[in-house]
Amino acid sequence: MILHRMMIALLGMVLLTGGCAVHREYRPAYPGVLRSVPYPAALRCVTKDGQEYDLHAEAADSLHVRGNGGRRSDPYAVWTPFSGSVRLDSIALVAEPVVDTWESILLVTACAALLSTTENLSGSGNATVSSDFWIPPPPPPESCPFVYTHDGQRYVLESEPFAGAVFRGIQRTTFDRLDHLGVVDGNARLKITCELDETEYIDQFRLQAVDHRPGTVVVPAECGRLCVLNAVEFPIRATDPDGADALDLIAESDGREWSGSIDGRDAVQFDEVRAGLTVVFRRPPEATEAVIVLDLRNTVWATLMLREVLELNGCELGTWYETMNTSWPMRDAFRKALIREAMVQVAIGEGDAWRSCGYVGAVGHGVSKTLAVVVDLAGVSGDTVAFRLDSGAGFWAIDRIGIGFFPKDPGAVTTLDPAVARDQNGRDLRDALRTADGDYYTMPTRQDWAEVEFTVPPTPPSCQRSYVLQASGYYQMHIPAEGEPHRDLLARFMVEPGAFCAYSIQRYREVSFAQAQGGPR
């Protein structure tokens, strides 16, 4: 029970911090991320055998991280000196400083209850574990391919494309800004990995080189429009439905996130199953169009609940996939329900009413993304403009909400096909990645990866260049099709507003109670 006791102790530490104090949060470890950390660096981690390390990490290679510091085998034990190497594939959790207290609790409690036995874990592709202690899963149970960009020295995790596209019928094309991509000798290098227990289906993988006026910023919208803004302004007010001030958390992109806590909510009350903010901006009187700019990510809880929706199909999961892939009405109903319940809805204030003006689709949990929602200001008067952003409680973490006016189109956008694309076996993938035509590059195991290179033309004089990844595809989690299907519950999710959000709150209560009782053993 070593690692189990450690997680209970960590949970207690999080609870003691209270409010929005900064604390260390243990998150699932991604080997690819650990390899790309700019060493030397501070590293606090827990390995699969229950050892906790607090290291000054000097360097990492493909297999190990080296450093010196302390080690302990029990959360109440005294640290003992340590100097040496730790295998990257042995690290289950890694700590990072965060503000969001309630999500820390979710990471511990949700994984504990939803993946409740070591038999489940060993059956999902993890290493075989002893039955006398609980090991949380290394990554979140839902995501999408990971895309790393090479900045000239190392690979940096930058994108989780087509998040939420969990079967072929809802394949997505996403547009992600790549802020760390470097170009060396006219070449840009990216790496695609499959690090979770799922199969990735990548239909298209292209790079957009966006040239724009120096000093401006490029923000992609859900539809693929690239908005060029002179500046991104912060709000003058930001409040939650209870009137609490959130301006300090979302005014700047600084890693301090607002996330509508799911804790203590009443699943029966419709107005409590959603969380949101009202933000107010100054508005130039001549502005006719605005661009809401969001830096945000999905929470761990959102990824767990999406997986649970699929698990509720039980032994009928295969039939459900087939229905969704072949029946447009069923697929459309599912897509609309997913948007209604779990995506960030954006509405603009018009007098005493709110007008819907768009949404932000799933982005994944691993990295925060910068996305735009373009809003028509027709019918809105005054020198300020108000927006309401809301979603199911507990599904999103928002770092920044800003606004830009008078968006321009880029000076030029050059869309690049891969010049080189090879998987780990040297297979040429260029034809598969060039067009979205159903000829997929398929990644069925965690050992699958590909390196992609683009030949980038020189940046024109007097221009600034940004890069945007255009990727299309879907992924399918490796979920056993077993157990009784919950058809009535799934039908309610499709047609009843708030039903899925209420179910999520109830499940949170259940996993919180389970963890309070000691969690799985």
Band (pLDDT 50/70/90 cuts) for residue 265 is confident
Mean pLDDT of the chain: 84
Are residues 117 and 94 in contact, defined by beta-carbon separation less than 8 angstroms?
no
Do 303 and 375 sit in the same domain of this protein?
Answer: yes
290 shares its domain with 356: yes
CA 28 to chain centre: 13
Same domain, 390 and 424: no
Question: How does pLDDT run across 420-474, given as a tens digit for each residue?
Answer: 999 999 999 999 999 999 999 999 998 999 999 999 999 999 999 999 999 999 9
Question: 394 and 299 in contact (C-beta within 8 Å)?
Answer: yes
Output phi, psi for 119, to 5 deg.
-65, -40
Q: State the Cα torsion 23-26-29-35 to the nearest 10°.
A: 30
Q: Give percent above pLDDT 70 in the chain.
A: 83
Q: pLDDT tens, 141-189?
A: 456 899 999 999 888 889 999 999 999 999 999 999 999 999 999 999 9
User: Residue 72's pLDDT band (boundaries 50, 70, 90)?
Assistant: confident
Both 394 and 251 in one domain: the answer is: yes
pTM over 0.85: no
Higher pLDDT residue, 485 or 272? 485
Compute the chain's Rg from CA coordinates: 23
- Whether residue 440 lies inside any domain: the answer is yes
The CATH number linked to 372 is 2.60.120.260
In total, how many domains does the chain have? 3
Domain-located, residue 508: no
| Six token digits for residue 271 | 């107005």
The reply to whether 391 and 311 lie within a common domain is: yes
Other beta carbons within 10 Å of 385: 22
* Residue at 310 is within a domain: yes
161: β partners: none
Distance CA 365, CA 305 (A): 13
Tokens describing residue 173: 């094309």
Question: 500 in a domain, yes or no?
Answer: no
Domain housing 326 = 217-407
Give Cα 17 to chain centroid, integer Å.
25
Is there a single domain that holds both residue 401 and residue 423? Answer: no
Dihedral of CA atoms 335, 338, 343, 349 in degrees, nearest 10, equals: 80
Amino acid at 440: Y
What contacts 504, CB < 8 A, 6 or more positions away? 262, 273, 301, 305, 392, 393, 394, 395
Residues 91 and 7 in one domain: yes
Residue 497 counted as domain residue: no
Query: Measured between alpha carbons, how far is 265 from 509 in angstroms, rounded to an integer?
Result: 9
- For residue 211, being part of any structural domain is answered with no
Q: SS3 sequence, 368-431?
A: CEEEEEEEECCCCCCCEEEEEEEEECCCEEEEEEEEEECCECCCEEEEECCCEEEECCCCECHH
261 and 399 in a single domain? The answer is yes
Whose CA is closest to 315, among 485, 491, 465? 485
- On whether the CB atoms of residues 136 and 93 are closer than 8 A, the answer is yes
Q: Does residue 383 sit in the same domain as residue 236?
A: yes
Residue 455 half-sphere exposure toward CB, CA atoms < 13 A: 2
Are 380 and 466 within one domain?
Answer: no
> Taking 80 as the threshold, does the pLDDT of residue 514 lie above it?
no
292 and 227 housed in the same domain: yes
Q: Give buried/exposed letters for 175-185 (b at 16+ CB in 10 A, else e).
A: bbbbebbbbee
Burial class of residue 425 in the structure, from the number of CB atoms within 10 Å of its CB (0-12 exposed, 13-18 middle, 19+ buried): exposed
Residues 226 and 283 in one domain: yes
Residue 7 pLDDT grade (very low, low, confident, very high; cuts 50, 70, 90): very low
Residue type, 75: P
Q: What is the mean pLDDT of residues 227-242?
A: 94
Whether 71 is in a domain gets the answer: yes
Query: Which residues make Cβ contacts (< 8 Å) with residue 264, sequence separation at least 6?
Result: none
Please say if the pLDDT value at position 132 is more than 90.
no
123 pLDDT band, cuts 50/70/90, is very low
| Distance from C-alpha of 1 to C-alpha of 131, rounded to nearest angstrom | 9
Q: Is 488 a domain residue?
A: no
